Structure 1
């Protein structure tokens, strides 16, 4: 294929004009960080200002745009940001931050996301020690079993947590698992991080913090996994501080 050959997708045989204009408007809004005004949308789409205004109101109604009350320009809305903030983008942007974190802590670190009732590892940056936790990319564990899963539930209220767990699930001593998890989550939120020793694997500990998206909601979690004997309790606060700094760095890199 020659470099000059047009590789753009062919236009549909039976285009729908209104849909085409709405999609072009979404692309326009997403491409202009300073916002799009009605007259600009009108000129770009080749429609009357009244039509452009109705289209902007419609995408705003669905959360795809928001209007700045001062400038009256339309900016990307929460629904559009959520579409753009894909996992692939997050992993790509978080990768150097996590590698730096692994170098700084000298331990393996992971990035995870919530899928139904599981914490799924998206990316692992391994630490340099010969004795270390390896790459867990693609590995899934129930959210109630570890620190990273609990961080992914920081925004869930008690009812949502109960709904997420299988009915009848019991914890140590036969108590309902949901009760124990909710109590632990209250403590984790207060401290801003989660931690466990030997829950998933004997002799392995995890310290984790949530990663919030540009809208302030928890979208991911990052965690440091390490042999329990290598990081004594008195060094945990320092590790958590490094995790929180990395979390903030990842949030700053996510699409806005």
Structure 2
């Protein structure tokens, strides 16, 4: 679109996560008036931010996107290079698979910090406004209208109109649901059989408990565990496994037996007596999200 046609054009971005915040930067940089509606409260000021906390492995493609909005160095400076996959076998042996032959690497970055930085970057544009605690109730793509409800008590839903509506509101997208009400709109949604559980490998004696510049992987056929390094010298550890396998772990003893069978070298790293490892047997709904 020519710059002369952009003047006065209004864009609504539904969802202030990574995708929504990055899109806001791109649209604002082009000169559009951008409003971002996020159902959750501002994660930069709230004491507890809901959502995934799994680290991101930032590749060249992601860095290019950040570079385009002037954030690459800012994010890279808070990331940890991972030059290879570090494979952990059931017998405790380890070997590496490099990401390339020219010293290439991907970066372990904190997802929440990246989201905060993107929101702050978007907010710096004078033509961008962020609305937190504002949930999309209904939209009409043909008319460009949105009905937004504020989380503040006593406020009536707002009806607003835009030239473009961008749905960045995740797997259970309200924008998509509204599109599905249109004729001849095809859509399918299929759930994978896997869930995940997050664990932490804490620092040991003030340093990383494992080699830090790797993406550690424990591949075990239908399930696996990974660990990515953090700036505080801990590792964010994630167990991906079919729900039916999680449901077999009913007692703390079964959990420990499971780890001793499949991830024996991780037990002293995570800590056998750490509460979250011993509580894997609590109801799955409290622990897992797809």
**Shared fold (TM-score greater than 0.5)?**
no
Taking structure 2 as the reference length, the TM-score comes to 0.22
| Structure with the larger RCO, 1 or 2 (CA within 8 Å, 6+ apart) | 2
Structure with greater proportional strand content: 2
